[in-house]
Amino acid sequence: MNWKFVLAATSCWVGSAAGAASLTELEIKWLQAGEPVLAYAQALHLPIDIIVQPTPGADPVPLAMGFADGRCKLVLTLRDNPDAEATLRGISAPRQALYIEAMTAHEVGHCWRYAHGVWHQLPAGFTESSTEQGSASLLAAARAIRETRREEGYADLAALAWIQRRHPGDYAEVHRWLSAVRSDQPVPRGPHDTRVWVRLAADAAVFGAAAAPFEAARAPWDAGLLANE
């Protein structure tokens, strides 16, 4: 694939060949594992740039999706990050690529929503039903949490739908892993509390017969919205 990489330290662009030379072994491992998803995103013409962080920063999430200037920014924060592979602990080295592929599908699911102009939007027929009270700033913060939780729920389903389509024999294993990851919630209904959606996807049949994984995520996402709002 002819990907470009942004080196965040200098904000300069480098071509794929030079970019590969400047990447660390760990970054290459993650990008190679996520390549099937990135190739699919490229076929969909999703506007994705890959950004390599030179230092972990305050919130060292190994893989994240951001947005700027109408484009999606897939950010790798792996260099000098001791927690880069914390979510992979206990998973044997030969199996780790499967989980990184699922995480990549989660992030590309975010880009799919953004590129389709529905980021933080409820589907037709759904309305806000919160009864929260408080100052304008508190209500705005609560709404931001709800919007983030919805998008995280959609992305989790996109990841599971991807695995169901591409690695059906591994679906139950990946679902158990994601359930365990999402079970650790410091605050119920927080921004990453996607448990209602993950539970709905315990049976891979929930994704129906839709060919496209990001479209297949829609039906269980709607069901989770009905249960979660």
Phi, psi of 6 (to 5 degrees): -100, 120
For strand 5-7 and strand 12-14, is the pairing parallel, antiparallel, or unpaired? antiparallel
d(CA 61, CA 101): 16
3-state secondary structure of 223: helix
d(CA 139, CA 116): 27
Q: Beta-strand (E) ranges in the chain?
A: 5-7, 12-14, 48-52, 63-68, 71-76
Q: Which pTM was predicted? A: 0.88
pLDDT higher than 50, residue 15: no
pLDDT at 161: 98
pLDDT at 132: 64
Q: Render 117-141 in DSSP notation, one character per residue.
A: T-TT-PPTT--------S-HHHHHH
Q: Where are the domains of the chain?
A: 5-90, 120-228
Give the pLDDT band (50/70/90) at residue 177: very high
Which of 64-78, 157-171, 177-191 shows the lowest mean pLDDT across its residues? 177-191
**Two structure tokens written together for 71:** 């484009």
Give the pLDDT band (50/70/90) at residue 60: confident
Yes or no: say if 101 and 37 are a contact pair by the CB < 8 Å rule.
yes
224 compared with 228, residue with greater pLDDT: 224
d(CA 167, CA 99): 11
pLDDT higher than 50, residue 54: yes
pLDDT at 229: 54
